[in-house]
Amino acid sequence: MNMEHSNKAQAIIVALAGLFAFVTIVIADDTTSSVTVSNATPSISTVNFNGGSAITLTEATYTYASATITVSDTNGCSTINAVEARAFVASTSPVAVGNACAANDNNCYITASSSIAAPTLGGCYATTTGNTCTGGLDTSVQYDCGFKFWYIAEGTDSAAPVWASSIWSISATTSDGSATSTATNSTQVVEINSLSALDVTATLPYGTLSVGTNTGSTNSTSTVTTTGNIAIDTQLSGTDMTGAGTIDVSRQIYHNAAFTYPSGTARLTTTTTPTLELLNNNNPSSTTTNSIATSSASWGIQIDTGQANGAYTGTNTFAATAD
Amino acid sequence: MVMKRSILFALVTFFALTPIVHAGFGVSPAKIIEDKLVKGSTFERVIYLVQGTPEKDLRVKLQVDDSDIKDWITTTPKGDFVIPKGTQQFPVILRFAVPKDTKMGIYKGFVRASGAPKAEPNEPEGQSGVVIALGAAVGIELTVGEGVYYEYAIRNLDFKNIKETDDPTADISIENKGNVPAGPAEASFELFNKYGDVRLAYIQGVKVPKVEPFKIENMSVEFPISVGLSVGEYWGLVKLYDDSGGKVREFKGVFNVNKATFLDKFGRYIIWTSLAVVAFIIVRLLTLFVRKIRRKRT
């Protein structure tokens, strides 16, 4: 009996020893894992300027045109914090990347994102109607950049006197605060059309004349202002002055400088020949709208003997034509 | 007595009372130049009559000056018309048709728009003078020669945002500067994931229609890929090839696939099903009608 107990005890000891032979002691502790997500450089995937269409300016004021810029950032589109676009006169190819032109109303317009909530003309704004940034995993967002093109912006169409072989391009830059990138609308050919336009003082004061006299060396003048983007001349025509009788249109003579009647350029006719070469309208390319070219047209008139006394009215037309 | 004999023409008095309105006038483009025309060529251009301060309706007279090419040009609108106030840019279409018996040469002319006077000569008693009207003339320079001119420019290439039910689509604007139909012949398209690094689909040999001479054509070219696109962003790469297979332009950019509406998804099936049902009913009614007539006869 004792032997049996002894054997059992030995068997239990052996079994426990065998069990502990396979048991290892594990010491548990907390571990931390870390990974650094590097900043991805944002990229500009598309730059679309005015839908690829030519831009028509408006005389004496500005015309709005826009560039649509799609920006991507694999860190998420919400990391984009700046977009800038420059519209500038460029050679037809290649388009300059990262163009750094200085802003002027002739050939370089710059617009950029701002913190203004309500979109106004000018500036770059994240779109509210197109590809919006929804945050999270969304990687791209569309910005609309508006440009106010003034009437002196250089024309680049085939009628443009200087830049006919050039185009208008966009250079866009974006940043996420750490990295920047640039792109252009290299697949587009966008022109600004030449604009032949003018403004003229509304009336032509001849003064008071007696029958059988003319204005002599006392000229009346019309001030002609170039309100387009190319140099102009004017084609003049008129109507007979009517009232108590008729003063034939040919009694009016014009010139581009002071003159003594009847030695001006030509007599006015009801048609439009010849063209009056304006002396100072060859330079509408000032870089600001504050100094626009003006010129003068001088006028004289003859009142024939026998002309009936009374009031007379007529209309003279100034038509702008490319110089 | 001396004063009585000296008949005076008060040519200016009312001007002192007439306010000067600052309202200019112009035309854009300033010239239309075509130097690759041949006998029988036709084309059209749009010009804009522009005013910076269109504060009132403006009566305009449009005319083509007398010249050798007067009969080649028609305009829409033509003659006298009114530009409504508030309209800064008013379009006028000019259509040109070179007669087939024209001699080769350079032809010039003007299309002229003249506005009403800036100040109205309302002629109060004893007042008179000259008021100024503004106008603008578009110079026309046409060169008629012979021979074939094949030249075109791709003015725009971009992707269009589409719906789930649509195929990827590229907007292409092509200007044919020559006198025969021209343009890229084919296009290919590659579809990439939102990061632009994994290609998902590819299609080639998509025909691009030719553009008629002297025209600018805006077209949308669809790429019928074999996979359906779910909502999201994708990159696309489009390449245009000429007739000899040479690549003339490529563009890689992002486009969006937006959620399609119920009608977008099932509209066509609903329409076809409806048409089938209506057709079935009509056929059934006709059959019944014919049977009824036959029974009456028998």
So what's the pLDDT on residue B12?
41
Contact across the interface for B139 and A206, Cβ inside 8 Å: no
Identity of the residue in B24, B114, B125 whose CB atom sits nearest the CB atom of A197: B24
DSSP string, chain B: -HHHHS-EEE-SGGGGGSPPP---EEEESSEEEEEEEETT-EEEEEEEEE-S---S-EEEEEEEPSSTTGGGEEEES-EEEEEPTT-SEEEEEEEEE--TTPPSEEEEEEEEEEEEESS-----TT--EEEEEEEEEEEEEEEEE-S----EEEEEEEEEPEETTSPPEEEEEEEE-SSS-B---EEEEEEE-TTS-SEEEEEEEEE---B-TT-EEEEEEE---SSPPPSEEEEEEEEEE-TTS-EEEEEEEEEEEEPPPHHHHHHHHHHHHHHHHHHHHHHHHHHHHHHHHHHHH-
Across the range A107-117, mean pLDDT stands at 78
Across the range B10-38, mean pLDDT stands at 70
Which residues of B are less than 8 Å from A201 in CB distance?
A: 20, 132
Contact across the interface for B235 and A189, Cβ inside 8 Å: no
Which range has the worst mean pLDDT, A270-274, A299-303, A311-315, B84-88?
A: A270-274
Which residues of A are less than 8 Å from B136 in CB distance?
A: 196-198, 319-321
Q: Is the minimum CB–CB distance between B173 and chain A shorter than 8 Å?
A: yes
Domain ranges of chain A: 43-184, 198-322
Full-model pTM: 0.81
Evaluate if residue B295 carries a pLDDT over 90: no
Distance CA A200, CA B41 (A): 39
B2-145: CATH class: mainly beta
So what's the pLDDT on residue B125?
47
In tens, the pLDDT along B160-191 reads 999 999 999 999 999 999 999 999 999 999 99
3-state secondary structure of A81: coil
Q: Is the minimum CB–CB distance between B6 and chain A shorter than 8 Å?
A: yes
Residue B48 CA, chain-centre distance (Å), reads 12
Which helix (H) or strand (E) is A321 found in, with range? strand A312-322
- The Cα of A204 is separated from the nearest Cα of chain B by a number of Å equal to 5
As a CATH number, domain A43-184 is: 2.60.40
Distance CA B262, CA B268 (A): 11
Identity of the residue in B50, B134, B137 whose CB atom sits nearest the CB atom of A58: B50
So what's the pLDDT on residue A312?
87
Distance CA B75, CA A263 (A): 39
Which residues of B are less than 8 Å from A189 in CB distance?
A: 153-156, 175
Contact across the interface for A197 and B50, Cβ inside 8 Å: yes
The pLDDT confidence band at residue A208, using thresholds 50, 70 and 90, is: confident
Q: Highest mean pLDDT: which of A105-119, B112-126, B139-153, B267-281?
A: B139-153
Interface size between A and B, measured as CB pairs under 8 A: 271
The pLDDT confidence band at residue A282, using thresholds 50, 70 and 90, is: low
Which residues of B are less than 8 Å from A188 in CB distance?
A: 155-158
The pLDDT confidence band at residue A92, using thresholds 50, 70 and 90, is: low
Q: Which CATH superfamily is domain B152-258 in?
A: Immunoglobulins (2.60.40.10)
So what's the pLDDT on residue B260?
84
More confident residue, B4 or B139: B139
Domain ranges of chain B: 2-145, 152-258, 267-298
Identity of the residue in B8, B136, B157 whose CB atom sits nearest the CB atom of A320: B136
So what's the pLDDT on residue B123?
46
Distance CA B57, CA A193 (A): 25
Across the range A27-50, mean pLDDT stands at 83
- The Cα of A121 is separated from the nearest Cα of chain B by a number of Å equal to 17
So what's the pLDDT on residue A273?
67
In tens, the pLDDT along B75-111 reads 999 999 999 999 999 999 999 999 999 999 999 999 9
Contact across the interface for A58 and B254, Cβ inside 8 Å: no
Residue A144 CA, chain-centre distance (Å), reads 13
